[in-house]
Structure 1
Amino acid sequence: MKKLLPTSTSGSLPKPAWLAQPETLWSPWKLQDQELTEGKQDALRVSLQEQQQAGIDIVSDGEQTRQHFVTTFIEHLSGVDFENRKTVKIRDRYDASVPTVVGAVSRQKPVFVEDAKFLRQQTKQPIKWALPGPMTMIDTLYDDHYHSREKLAWEFAKILNQEAKELEAAGVDIIQFDEPAFNVFFDEVNDWGIAALERAIEGLKCETAVHICYGYGIKANTDWKKTLGSEWRQYEEVFPKLQKSNIDIISLECHNSRVPIELLELIRGKKVMVGAIDVATNTIETPEEVANTLRKALQFVDADKLYPCTNCGMAPLSRQVARGKLNALSAGAEIVRRELLAKS
C-alpha cells in the first residue's frame, strides 16, 4: 500500500562546512579535482542519511553536488560563455552577474546522471531529482545569440528533455523542474512557458513535478515579499493552465506565506507538494504548525494527492536548523496521517 502523505523536500539542503562555505548561496567549493568528487559523494551520503533519520519518504541528493540550482546545469552546456559575464536583473528583483549565451546551446554529455546513479545505489526509497526549468534558465543568463526568450527556452527544453530521459533511466522516480520565474512572468508562462515545460517532459514515464515558490530566504526575496501586499495571488495567473498540463505534481509555498489557500482549488486533480516549512526563518516549526498547514490544504487537495514538503530549498540555512525543520515536517505529517486513518 502506498504511504499516505509522503514527505519530501524542495531540493537543496545545507552543505557540510568542509565542502563549501555554510549558509551561503553560490558558495565556492573548498576542495578540488578528485577530492571534490569524493567530497560531493560523501556530502550526498550525509544528506541522504539526515533525510532518512528525519523520516523523509521521498529523498533527494540535497543538491550537494551542485553549486547553484540553475548555473551548475548551464555550466555543462556549450554555447554559453562564463568568462564573458553581464549584469542582469533576475526575476525582476535583484542584479546578478551571469554568463552570456554566445552561440547555439547544446548538451555534449550528461550533467547529473552519474550523481543520480550514485544516489540510486545508496537507497531503495523513491528518489526525486531537481532540474532548472526552461524559463528560470533563460532568466539567469544574458542572451547575445537568440535574442528571443522564447526561442532560447525551447532550446533549453530540448536539452532538459535529453537529461531527464537519462535521469529516468538511472532510476529517478520523480523529476522536478524548478520554475520560480513562473511567479513573475505570467504572460510568458501562459503564452509559451508551460508549453516549453511540457516539451522538457516529453516521453517521460516517471513522475514529473514543477516547483514554483517565492524564493530562498535571502534578503532580495524577503524584501520583494514585503511589497506583495496582504494576499499573494501570483499562483492564480498560472494554475489554471498548469492544471490542464501534463505535469503530474505541482510544488508550492504555503506555510507563513500570504498565499490564499483556496487557490489550491485551481489545481484540483493534480498531486500537490504543499510547502509546510518556511525556509526564510531560523525558527523551527512545531509539528502542530506543520499539521495545521496540511489540514488547511486538505480542504482543496485530496488526501491521496497531498505531499508535505518544504517551501523552497534550505541551502542558506544552518545544518542544525534544517535538521530540525525536516524532523518537524515528518512529525507534522504523521499527526495528520493518523487523523486521516482514524476517519477512514
Structure 2
Amino acid sequence: MQRSEHRILTTHTGSLPRPPALTRLYARRVRGEPVEEAAIAAAGREALHAIVPRQIECGLDVINNGEQQREAFALYLRHRLSGIGGRGERRGWADVDAYPEFKAAFQQQSAAREAVSNTEHLPAAIGPVAYLDRGAVEAECADFRAALAGFEGRYAEAFLTAPSPGIVATTVQNRHYDTEQAYLDALGEALRVEYEAIVGAGFLLQLDCPDLALERHSAYRDRPLADFLGFCERVVATINRALAKVPRERVRLHVCWGNYEGPHDADVPLADILPVLLTAKVGGLVLPFANPRHAHEYRCFERMPLAADQVLVAGVIDTLTNFVEHPEVVADRIERVARVVGDPRRVLAGTDCGFDTAAGRGRVAADVVWAKLRALSEGARIASRRLFGGG
C-alpha cells in the first residue's frame, strides 16, 4: 500500500455512479423479473471501461472498478455463495425510527427510485455457505486488469472491495447455523477465497465493514454497548483468520455508520469502537471525517494512534450531499488529520463512503460526484504544498 511520500495521495471508498440502464437491469433482477444475464454482463463491462478513465481524469491516485459489475457492495454475494436464498429480514435504524416525520419522507423518497435496496428483497442463509466458483472473482479481476490497460503510469495503485463477514451476517439473516459464531466462521472461510484472489491478482483489498459501526443502531440497538463490542471483536477475529495468507500491507479496512442521509444521532462514537478496529491485521483504516456527525473524530488518534506501519485514509468529501466542497475546505480537513497522525506520509485523502453503494441509491447526482472528486484532488494539491513544501 503506497504512502503519500511526496504529496497527499487521493482515493475514494469504492462505489461510483452506475449508468441508469445498468441500474435498471440490476433492480429488475433483484425484484425477480426476467433479465438476460448476458445483457447485465455486457453493460457491466461497458460501465467498467468508462469508469476507469473518469477517475484518472479527476486526478485520483488509487482507483478501482467503481463496483460497476456488482448490484450492491455486499449483496452481490448472493450470486457467488451457496446456501443463500429465500427471503430474509433486517432491523431498521434507530435514528430513523426516532423521527417519524423524517422516516415517512425517507421511505417515500426511497420508494420512488428505480434502485437496488440494501434493506428490501433480502435473501437469507438457508443452507451451508461456501464460495461457489473462484472463477467469478477471478473474472472480475481480469476485467478490471483489462480496463486498466493503457493507463499505466497515470495512477498509483488499484484496489477492489469485498465485504466483511459481519455485514453479510447481519444483512443476510441466518436461518441455518446453530450459532452466530458458526455462521461467521462459514462466511469467513467463504470470503477468504475472494480476499486472497483480489490480492493475488495484484490489487489492494479494501474490506467494507460498516457492521463495525452501523450495527450498533441496527441489530444491537436495544442491547448494551458491551454486547455490540463483543460482536465487533468476533467479526475482527474472523477477518483476521480469513486474512491469514494476505500481507497486512495489502489491505485497508473501511468502517462507517451507514451511507444514508439521516439524523445519525444514535451512532456509536468512534472512540468506543476504535480499540477493536486497531486489532485488525490490516495496513490502514478508511474512515469518514467529512459528514457533520463524525467530522471531529479524527482527534481520537491523539489518544489511540495507528500502528507505526499503518496509514489512514481520511474521508474529506461527504458522499450524501450535492454541495461541492471548496478545495480549501478539503485541504484544511487533510491538514487537521495529518497533524493528529503526526506524519503526512501516512495520510491519504478520500471520501466518506461510496457514492452508489447499492445501484441507484446514490444521493449525489453523477455530474456532481465528478466535481466533488476534482475538488478532492485540488484540495490534496493545496494541502501537499503546505505539508511537504514546494510550489
TM over 0.5: yes
| 1:199 CA displacement | 1.6
Q: Is the 8 A contact 1:13 1:64 kept in 2?
A: yes
For 2:268 and 2:319, locate their aligned partners in 1 and report how far apart those are by CA, in whole Å: 20
Please list every run of 5 or more consecutive structure 1 residues that lacks an aligned counterpart in the other structure.
none
Deviations 1:107-147 (A, max 9, x none): 12123321222212332341111101111110101211114
SS in 2 for 1:73: helix
Give the Å deviation of 1:18: 2.7
Q: Do structure 1's residue 130 and structure 2's residue 167 form an aligned pair?
A: no
The 1-side partners of 2:27 and 2:8 are apart by: 33
Secondary structure of residue in 2 paired with 1:68: coil
**Counterparts in 2 of 1:149-160, with a 5 A limit?**
149-160=180-191
Residue 33 of structure 1: CA displacement?
2.9
**Higher relative helix content:** 2
Matched, 1:5 2:8: yes
Moved more, 182-191 or 91-100: 91-100
The aligned counterpart of 2:252 is 209
C-alpha separation in 1, matches of 2:257 and 2:88: 24
The structure that is strand-richer by fraction is 1
Once the two structures are superposed, residues 149-191 of structure 1 have per-residue CA deviations (whole angstroms, 9 ceiling, x without a partner) of: 222112111111111111222221x101111110134323443
Q: Does 1:291 align with 2:307?
A: no
Compare 252-261 and 275-284 and name the one that shifted more. 252-261
Q: Structure 1 residues 194, 93: CA separation in 2 closer, same or farther (over 3 Å shift)?
A: farther
Q: Counterpart of 2:105? A: none
Aligned-partner Cα distance in 2 for 1:139–1:276: 28
Tell me by how many angstroms 1:343 deviates.
Answer: 7.8
Deviation of 1:28 (Å): 4.1
Seen in structure 2, the aligned counterparts of structure 1 residues 303 and 233 have a Cα distance that, compared at 3 Å, is farther
Alpha-carbon deviations, 1:285-316, whole Å to 9, x = none?
A: 11111111111111222211111010001011
8 Å contact from structure 1 (residues 117, 171) kept in 2: no
8 Å contact kept, 1:90–1:96: no
Extract unaligned runs of 5+ from structure 2.
Answer: 97-118, 217-227, 357-361
Task: Confirm whether residue 196 of structure 1 aligns to residue 238 of structure 2.
Answer: yes
Distance 2:28 2:355 in 1: 17
Match among 76, 79, 83 for residue 79 of structure 1: 83
Q: How does 1:3-42 map to 2 (within 5 A)?
A: 4-21=7-24, 27-28=27-28, 32-42=36-46
The alpha carbon displacement at 1:35 in A equals: 2.9
**Cα offset for 1:91?**
6.2
Cα contact 1:90–1:139 (8 A) shared by 2: no
CA distance in 1, matches of 2:43, 2:380: 32
SS at match of 2:66: coil
Distance across 2 between alignment mates of 1:31 and 1:325: 34
1:88 aligned residue (87, 90, 103): 90
Deviation string 1:255-291 (CA, Å, 9 cap, x unpaired) is: 1333232113324233111000101111111111111
Q: Give the Å deviation of 1:2.
A: 4.8
Question: Is the 1:8–1:310 Cα contact (8 Å) retained in structure 2?
Answer: yes
State the one-letter code of the partner of 1:32.
E
Residues 189/279 of structure 1: CA separation in 2 closer, same or farther (3 Å cut): same
Q: Work out the CA distance in 1 between the residues paired with 2:70 and 2:164.
A: 16
* Residue aligned with 1:72, SS: helix
Relative to structure 1, is the Cα distance of residues 6 and 196 closer, same or farther in structure 2, using a 3 angstrom cutoff?
same
Query: Which residue of structure 2 lines up, in the alignment, with residue 237 of structure 1?
Result: 272
Q: Is the 8 A contact 1:278 1:311 kept in 2?
A: yes
The aligned residue for residue 114 of structure 2 is none
Deviation at 1:248, TM superposition (A): 0.9
CA distance in structure 1 between the partners assigned to 2:93 and 2:235 by the alignment: 14
The residue aligned with 1:340 is 387
Q: What letter matches 1:86 in structure 2?
A: G
| Whole-Å separation in 1 of the counterparts to 2:229 and 2:289 | 23
Match of 1:170 among 189, 201, 204: 201
Larger mean Cα displacement after TM superposition, 180-189 or 3-12:
180-189
Q: Which has the higher contact order (CA 8 A, sep 6+)?
A: 2
Aligned residues: 330
TM-score, length-scaled by structure 2: 0.78
Is the 1:5–1:337 Cα contact (8 Å) retained in structure 2?
yes
Deviation at 1:233, TM superposition (A): 5.5
TM-score, normalised with respect to structure 1: 0.88
Counterpart pick for 2:347 among 306, 318, 342? 306
Q: Are residues 267 and 156 of structure 1, via their aligned partners in 2, closer, same or farther at CA, if it must alter by over 3 Å?
A: farther
CA distance in 1, matches of 2:236, 2:230: 9
Question: Which of 129, 133, 137 is residue 109 of structure 1 equivalent to?
Answer: 133
- In structure 2, what is the equivalent of residue 263 of structure 1? 300
User: Could you give the per-residue CA deviations for residues 74-94 of structure 1, whole angstroms, max 9, x where no partner exists?
Assistant: 33111111xx20322156677
Check the 8 A contact 1:242/1:267 in 2, yes or no.
no
Aligned-CA RMSD value: 2.4
CA deviation after TM superposition for structure 1 residue 215, in Å? 2.1
Is the 1:91–1:181 contact (alpha carbons within 8 Å) kept by the matching residues of 2? no
What is the alpha-carbon distance in structure 2 between the residues aligned to residue 325 and residue 252 of structure 1? 18
177, 195, 206: which one pairs with 1:146? 177
Q: Is the 8 A contact 2:28 2:35 kept in 1?
A: no
Distance change in 2, residues 1:73/1:93 (3 Å): farther
1:212-258 CA-partner distances (Å, limit 9, x unpaired): 0122234xxx13x1x34xxx662212212322431111001101333
